[in-house]
Structure 1
Amino acid sequence: MQTEKISETTKGVYIIAATPFTDSGELDLESTDSLTDFYLEKGVTGFTILGMMGEAPKLTEEETLTVMDRVLKRIDGRVPVVVGVSHASNRHVERLSKTAMDQGAAGVMVAPAANLKTDEQVYNYYATVARLLGPDIPICLQDFPQVTGVHMSVAVILKLIDDFPQIVMLKHEDFPGMRKLSEVREQSTAAARRRISILVGNGGLFLPQEMLRGADGAMTGFAYPEMLVQSCALFDQDRGEEAEDLFNLYLPLLRHEFQYGLGLALRKETLKRRGAIRSAYVRRPGPVLNATDMAELGRLIERQDRLLRERGL
């Protein structure tokens, strides 16, 4: 079933879905189903699958296609799905993008190839991808220099927006990057430029500030997606103070989960404790929690649960 494609007006929470594995490191398709159901039950607006948090670089091509097919069929058009297609080979990006769209995806997310050093190189990379994919496949630019090592300037982002109408979304994940978000919005307004959707990442760590600077929602994988959903909905209703109060209740756990190097293991362990997946296995090479890490996470979860109960939440 084909859902509506992502567009410049897309807003809300597009959860970055984890990829569940068994304790031996094989794909766990039953947990893929239960995790998909979990995210839907928490009210997410859409999904982003096969992203960096989804451990896409560790999947074989066959596994990639298996996960994509499983999730799209499970969702069955109920919400839009963006598929991460980043790869060193443009031909792989093209093939996976067209396969995803044929199977009902709402758009694709593309991070820049490694080792792009100048604005011209970044522009030419995305221009090539946009021409390969054509005008009918909506593209989300993934700006995540902490992982890609590629800096995308405001100038090159705006030039890409001007030149390629199929670029409809920016996943804003520079760090620190809130000033960049403001500059994209301010310079677009000043030049009467097409306004695109901006969804923010980095675990949602700066969500209130980013929403106030013009973000349209979140594209991240915090293990309590209901907080992201509720906070974004409150901002959308001009109830920013309530949104920030709610966000602050979850902030200690969100900040803890955001740790570089360990965050994915913490997130998967939390999803396991919430009953969404059967195993917290992170495919190697990847982080492994020790006994102290596990106890620390448990204490933070207990504190958060207590605070939410005390406030009737």
Structure 2
Amino acid sequence: MLQGILPVLPTPFSTTGGIDPDAMDRIVEFALASGVDGVVFPGFASEVDELRADERASLLRRVVERVDGRVPVVAGASAPSAEEAIAHAREALAAGVRFTMIQAPKSVGVDAAAVAAFYGAIAAAVPEIQIVLQNAPAPRGSDLKPDVILAIVKDNPAITYVKEETLPAGPAITAILKDRPAHLKGVIGGGGARYIIDEYRRGACGAMPAVEIADVHVALDRAFRSGDIAKARDLYMRTLPLLVIQANFRMAFTKYVLTRRGILSNRVARAKLPPMDDMDLSEIDAWLKLASPLLTNDAAAFAGAAE
């Protein structure tokens, strides 16, 4: 079962703009050392739209090889058409990955029959996979309503999970879980873990945040599951300012924090992202310093961070 913290891994690039496989190894090892329950690649947070087909395929194989069966790998397979999604799913299967996360393209629309046909074509073409139906908010996603998702899922046993990240996600999670078919194993939260406590209280089986504070998210998950809700809320409260900043700068924030934690040596990105100025960076450093006791992999790394 997919559950717990399953971060979406970023794509590391060299200073010349190419992919950096060695840096990807370090990201995977950092995630595993943080105690994650699975990893996701590629996803939106991986700058997937900026990757060539060969880069995407080679990095997925690299992730799978590095994970070496220690936790599940979920491969992103979203695409503008069912045919392309099928190709991505087959590529994932060839790499040894059976969980594929797929968002229906906006061109399919929001009609339940049309979206169901999209997922049905994928399930028929690649019957060995399990599909995580990704429901992202506009403008990136289609903002499918819970009744539409349930109509899609009920006749497609290949869809075993839903990643629900529309806003607000909480009521949608409640509605989906209330009437889910038996083959739907769970709903996973999105939104960068900015709403993780609400999602967990409503029955979400896990979350897919970015990876830069995976150790804190794992500690939060474990506290919640053990019944220590007060500790989970404390961890959430102490890291939420970072997640709020991350919402603005996305992968640029993730890569900056990973450089500060010694995982990456640069923060090169291909995606068009809002630039971070010196004030932004000093603010991130200040919040990282406050959170440093929680960063169990390198708690001493921020001793000299900005005040």
TM over 0.5, shorter chain:
yes
Partner SS state of residue 267, structure 1:
helix
Contact 2:216 / 2:295 at 8 angstroms: preserved in 1?
no
Q: Which amino acid aligns with 2:220?
A: S
Instruction: Find the counterpart in structure 1 of residue 113 from structure 2.
Output: 120
Q: Displacement of 1:123 after TM fit?
A: 2.2
Is 1:297 matched with 2:289?
no
1:220 equivalent among 195, 209, 216: 209
2:93 equivalent among 64, 87, 101: 101
Percent identity between the two aligned chains: 27
Q: Displacement of 1:308 after TM fit?
A: 7.8
Partner SS state of residue 199, structure 1:
strand
Contact 1:146 / 1:175 at 8 angstroms: preserved in 2?
no
Instruction: Find the counterpart in structure 1 of residue 123 from structure 2.
Output: 130
Q: Which amino acid aligns with 1:201?
A: G
Is 1:256 matched with 2:245?
yes
Contact 1:234 / 1:243 at 8 angstroms: preserved in 2?
yes
Q: 2 CA distance for matches of 1:120 and 1:164?
A: 12
- Taking a change above 3 Å as real, the CA distance of residues 81 and 171 of structure 1, as seen in their structure-2 partners, is same
Unaligned ranges ≥5, structure 1: 1-8
Q: 1 CA distance for matches of 2:34 and 2:125?
A: 36
Q: 1 CA distance for matches of 2:55 and 2:183?
A: 37
Instruction: Find the counterpart in structure 2 of residue 110 from structure 1.
Output: 102
Q: Displacement of 1:286 after TM fit?
A: 3.1
Larger mean CA deviation between 115-124 and 70-79 belongs to: 115-124
1:241 equivalent among 226, 230, 237: 230
Is 1:182 matched with 2:169?
no
Contact 2:15 / 2:266 at 8 angstroms: preserved in 1?
yes
Give runs of aligned pairs for residues 266-305 of structure 1, distance below 5 A. Answer: 266-305=253-292
Q: 1 CA distance for matches of 2:293 and 2:129?
A: 45
Is 1:171 matched with 2:163?
yes
Q: 1 CA distance for matches of 2:151 and 2:267?
A: 41
Contact 1:282 / 1:288 at 8 angstroms: preserved in 2?
no
TM-score (normalised: structure 1)? 0.89
Partner SS state of residue 170, structure 1:
strand
Moved over 6 A (4+): 306-309
Q: 2 CA distance for matches of 1:257 and 1:148?
A: 17
How many pairs align? 297
Q: Displacement of 1:194 after TM fit?
A: 4.2
TM-score (normalised: structure 2)? 0.90
Unaligned ranges ≥5, structure 2: 301-307
Q: Displacement of 1:30 after TM fit?
A: 1.2
Larger mean CA deviation between 292-301 and 60-69 belongs to: 292-301
Q: Displacement of 1:130 after TM fit?
A: 2.1
Q: 2 CA distance for matches of 1:239 and 1:300?
A: 24
Q: CA RMSD in A?
A: 2.1
Instruction: Find the counterpart in structure 1 of residue 10 from structure 2.
Output: 18
Q: 2 CA distance for matches of 1:146 and 1:275?
A: 34
Partner SS state of residue 108, structure 1:
strand
Q: Which amino acid aligns with 1:156?
A: V
